[in-house]
Amino acid sequence: MPKERSEIILAFRAFTRLLQNENEVFRMSDKTQKSLSIAEEFSYKIRLEKRKSRISKIVPVIVLAVLVLFFGLINVEFLSITNVLTILKQLSIPLILALGLTFVIIIGSIDLSVEGVMALTGCLASIIIMNNKTAVDTGFFGILIVVLVGALTGMVTGLIHVKAKLPSFMVSFGISSIASGFALLCYRGIPATIKHPIFISLNKDAFLGIPLITWIAAFVFIVAYILQEYSAFGRYIYAIGDNESIPAQTGIRVKRIKVLVFVWSGFCIGIAGVIALARSGRGDLLIGKGNLFDAITAVVLGGTVLSGGKGGVFNTLLGAVIVTVIQNGLILMDVNPYIQAGIQGIIIVSAVALSVSRRKKLIVK
């Protein structure tokens, strides 16, 4: 026990030294730049930006390590194999949603349609796959249908956003309400319960000891990473998020990229809706409740800045793990459910304050 506490103290000391070094660099910057030539000043700013980038990547790792040590000290069951597998299962939905939102936030926009579209896709799947309410059974083809519905809602959001030139938060919030209305119409007040045995196994079965839904989340992560690192699409979203006018002047079809980003977000929401249905077993309007906050928090907590142009899916993975660890740890501590959300919010806001890179760019689109 004393050894584990000393590790926490050492981690905090290392983090404090890191922040002190950063502050010294910032204090020196103004004095140093006055005596530098233009070329030297440019090189200096590049080095300074790289240093800040490294710090923003290290902080989430330190936060995660401290949380794991803290909850491990409080409850020995936290680090058990059974609970680790539980965390992996809990991680799947927020990670998939956050991977979709990551690209949206990188271009400087936001997608608030998560809860409504999740409800729509989950409720739609519950009545077109073997259930206790309808005679319809489309099997796995039904999963493809609802995921495409999610992508379609994302496309509608993106098109309205770029064609009507309306703020993304306003459009996506409206789409969420519309999707919620259609979700309620799907089951007309009486939720359907899924009966398909293979669909039910998504939540119960595992492969190589890891839950199947976690493998699905891992697959979505790999696809997102490939899109980000090895495609022109990935390069374009960073360029758009950093300064939208420059890629537009070079011939990049900015509006098209923006719509595709929202399609990707809707695609991820559709997958999350299917997994949420598999976990709950029934499709109702509340299937997506509370997921928007966790998803956005995971993205920002990992270091993807809301002003756009910075971050990535690996950052999001770290953020999603942190959010899930906090939720799981509070449950194991038997914290009153009525105050769990408050405690979680305080921890997350504090962690975000330490994790987010400080930039002079203050405009949030």
The CATH number given to whatever domain includes residue 264 is 1.10.3470
| The domain boundary residue, chosen from 74, 104, 136 | 74
Indicate whether 364 belongs to any domain.
Answer: no
Statement to judge: residues 25 and 149 lie in one domain: no
Same domain membership, residue 132 and residue 56? no
Answer whether residue 273 is part of any domain: yes
Segment holding 126, helix H or strand E? helix 114-128
Q: Are residues 38 and 160 in the same domain?
A: no
pLDDT reported for residue 264? 96
Domain that holds residue 67: 1-74
Q: What are the pLDDT digits (tens) for 183-233?
A: 888 888 788 888 888 788 888 888 888 889 999 999 999 999 999 999 989
Of 23-32, 217-226, 262-271, the poorest mean pLDDT is in 23-32
**Domain annotation covers residue 361:** no
Here the tokens at position 237 are 């979203």
Mean pLDDT of the chain: 81
Strand partners, 211: 206
Which of 136-150, 287-301, 334-348 bottoms out in mean pLDDT, i.e. has the lowest?
334-348
DSSP-assigned letter for residue 196: -
**Confidence at 272, pLDDT banded by 50, 70, 90:** very high
pLDDT band at 364 (very low <50, low <70, confident <90, very high): very low
Q: Are residues 63 and 92 in the same domain?
A: no
| CA-derived radius of gyration, the chain | 22
Shared domain check, 153 and 252? yes
HEC string of 231-281 equals: CHHHHHHHHHHHCCHHHHHCCCCHHHHHHHHHHHHHHHHHHHHHHHHHHHC
- Is 219 part of any domain? yes
How confident is the model over 338-347, as a mean pLDDT? 75
Task: Please tell me whether residues 114 and 167 are part of one structural domain.
Answer: yes
Query: Which tens digit of pLDDT belongs to each residue from 70-104?
Result: 998 888 888 889 899 989 999 999 999 999 999 99
Q: How far apart are CA 107 and CA 365, in angstroms?
A: 9
Are the C-beta atoms of residues 265 and 154 closer than 8 Å to each other? yes
Do 104 and 250 belong to one domain?
Answer: yes
Q: How far is the C-alpha of 191 from the C-alpha of 127, rounded, in Å?
A: 9
Please, what is the angle between helix 232-242 and helix 254-280, to 10°?
110
Q: What does the DSSP 8-state code read for residue 309?
A: S
Task: Give this prediction's pTM.
Answer: 0.81
Q: Are residues 276 and 199 in the same domain?
A: yes
27 within domain boundaries: yes
Indicate the angle between helix axes 291-301 and 313-332, nearest 10 degrees.
Answer: 120
CA distance linking residue 88 with residue 291, whole number of Å? 16
Does residue 363 lie in a domain region?
no
Identify whether residues 143 and 260 lie together within a single domain: yes
Query: Are residues 216 and 326 located together in one domain of the fold?
Result: yes
Does the pLDDT at position 321 exceed 90?
Answer: yes
Interatomic CA distance for residues 102 and 110, integer angstroms = 9
Q: What is the per-residue pLDDT for 1?
A: 47
Asked whether the beta carbons of 203 and 144 are under 8 A apart, the reply is no
Residues 106, 14: Cα–Cα separation, whole Å: 30
The residue from 23, 53, 74 where one domain ends is 74
Task: Tell me the mean pLDDT in the region 5-19.
Answer: 54
| Number of C-beta neighbours around residue 267 at 10 A | 23
Q: Is residue 365 part of a domain?
A: no
Tally of domains in the chain: 2
What distance in Å separates the CA atoms of residue 292 and residue 100, rounded to the nearest whole number? Answer: 11
Q: Measured between alpha carbons, how far is 126 from 252 in angstroms, rounded to an integer?
A: 41
- Asked whether residue 94 falls in the same domain as residue 199, the answer is yes
pLDDT reported for residue 97:
95
Confidence of residue 177 (pLDDT cuts 50, 70, 90): very high
pLDDT at 55: 63
Last residue of a domain, one of 24, 44, 74: 74
pLDDT band at 49 (very low <50, low <70, confident <90, very high): low
Asked whether residue 171 is domain-assigned, the answer is yes
Is the same domain home to 30 and 107?
no
HSE-CB at 64 with a 13 A cutoff on CA atoms is 19
